[in-house]
A and B are shown apart, each in its own frame.
Chain A
Amino acid sequence: MKIPGIKLHNAADLANACSLLEKYGESAKALAGGTDLVVDLKQKRAVFEHIVVLGGIAGLDEIKLRKGILQIGALTSLASLAESRIIKKHLPALSDAASTMATPQVRNMGTIGGNVAMAVPSADLPPTLIAANARIITDSPTGSRIIPIREFFTGPRKTVLGAAELIREIEIDVPPANSGLSYKKFQLRNSAALAVVGVAASLVVEDGKISDACIVLGAVAPTPLIAVKASRSLIGAKPDFEAFANAGKIACEEGKPISDIRGSKEFRCRLIGVLTRRALEEANGRIRTAPKRRKN
């Protein structure tokens, strides 16, 4: 399996990478971890003459916590995400999602920026990032911008990114103590398998009642899908099994799965219900402050 002739350009920094992409236009593509792009080039699903290599750019693979904001560099590997103490402490759902992906080798290579930018419908990180209200910080020859992740995905492998625009960083506000977030995935094997369905759920509980909730479904629509009705059904409810199971039932009707090699439409619909309930239960378990004050 040979890749047709390509020319590599080592970008010195992100601005340089953007201007190279602008210069070569449609014949150019940025290369981060390469776990998708190199495979696509080998299988001739993608043909590019100019490959802009991002790997040599310093400082883009760091995870920082600053003033209550998690800043994750676009070149942070999936393995770093899975193992990071900062992420495990403040957003364990994201390290859980990363650790379910592909294989150890691929997690050592693949990056968060690549996973988000490739916008594959079954991608594991986007549902959690959407439930956590992440912001995508990009650079391009016309400047930098901040894109709320809810506005980022437009179709399978399609995003709002411009041709010469690259992700620099992903920012997430550290969720408050009275909130919890979880990602649950069903896959056909525990390794090297894409999500049949992935569900991220976040909950905020105040005075014993749910004050905010967000359920995001992955692998069941052209883009990650916010189950609006299911999320709304939880507001004002007590965080218990009944409310979670009911939200699961509603979410089933909101997903728009297709039948494919990994599972039928009907099977996926059932999975949405179960995974939504499980994700909500785990999210609830992660809420750190007691929702009710104890009477002495």
Chain B
Amino acid sequence: MHKTITLNINGRDYFVSIKSSDTLQDVLRDKLGLTGTKKGCELGVCGACTVIIDGKTMNSCIILAETVQGKKIETIEGIKKDTDLHPIQKSFVEHGAIQCGYCTPGMIMSAKALIDKNPKPTRDEIKEGLSGNICRCTGYTKIIEAVEDWQKFKRSGAKIKHEDDLDKFQTVGKSMPRVDAYDKVTGSAKYTGDFKFPGMLVGKILKR
């Protein structure tokens, strides 16, 4: 049975028709197309689906959507201001704290919640703050460094090193941000599970 609920996501009210069994992750990704919130373990362990609800990080895969009406939900799509990346996103780009990028939105949400509460976290506090986000490329060091360094990008309009050079094709001999970094820190990068086509057929591997 479907019912219509209102969810406040990134400062905007969405009226959405759901089933009571839908998780917040299902609604964000399948109903609203906000696929920056990733689908990993689906059991509240890996942190890929991390969103911020009333200032606190939570795993959207184990939250029933209906239970978060009236709360302020922030997702990776909502943290940049207009076209300007959030300082923590810039810091991730600058530090190369991204490999495959699948854990990145969740990492950034945890990092944002941490610095909102504690703008100058110690290394140990950062590790603790990100301890619910698993990166299987094993790139934790750069991620921790990116969070440590975020204040450098706090000034609005602060630029990532060599950002202008990229436009001028003056990149030889310089360490540049990876080409897909912007898409990966904003959640707009598309992975296989994020595509949706009309009449799409979904296959599943069945194991004995």
Contacts and interface: CB of A to CB of B under 8 A. Distances in A.
Q: Which bracket fits the contact residues of A? A: 20 to 34
B129 A104 contact: yes
A6 B44 contact: no
Contacts of A105: 44, 47, 50, 57-59, 110, 132
Contacts of B56: 79, 108
A44 to B, nearest CB: 12
A34 interface: yes
A87 to B, nearest CB: 18
Q: How large is the interface on B (under 10, 10 to 19, 20 to 34, 35 or more residues)?
A: 20 to 34
Nearest to A108: B56
Given A8-B20, A43-B43, A191 B131 contact: yes
Contact of B66 (A5, A8, A41, A190): A8
Given A35-B62, A39-B43, A106 B132 contact: yes
Nearest to B110: A104
A4 interface: yes
A79 to B, nearest CB: 7
A104 B128 contact: yes
Contact of B45 (A34, A104, A192): A192
Given A43-B43, A106-B44, A192-B131, A2 B62 contact: no
A43 B44 CA distance: 12
B58 A4 contact: no
A108 B45 contact: no
B131 A103 contact: yes
Contacts of B171: none
A4 B45 contact: no
Interface string B1-26: 10000000000000000011101000
A34 B57 contact: no
Contacts of B132: 102-106, 191-192
A55 B19 contact: no
A2 B20 CA distance: 11
B63 interface: yes
Contacts of A190: 131
Contacts of A192: 45, 131-132, 134
B45 A109 contact: no
A104 B44 contact: no
Contacts of B44: 35, 38-39, 105-106, 109
B189 interface: no
B23 A38 contact: yes
Nearest to A190: B131
Contacts of B64: 8, 31, 34, 38, 51, 53
Interface in A3-52: 3-8, 31, 34-35, 38-39, 41-43, 51
Contacts of A39: 43-44, 62
A42 B42 contact: yes
A38 B60 CA distance: 11
Interface string A97-132: 000001111101100000000000000000000000
Interface in B118-152: 128-129, 131-132, 134
The 10 closest A-B pairs by CB, nearest first: A103-B132, A191-B131, A3-B21, A108-B56, A38-B62, A105-B132, A1-B42, A104-B132, A105-B59, A8-B20
Interface of B: 1, 19-21, 23, 42-45, 47, 50, 56-59, 62-64, 66-67, 110, 128-129, 131-132, 134
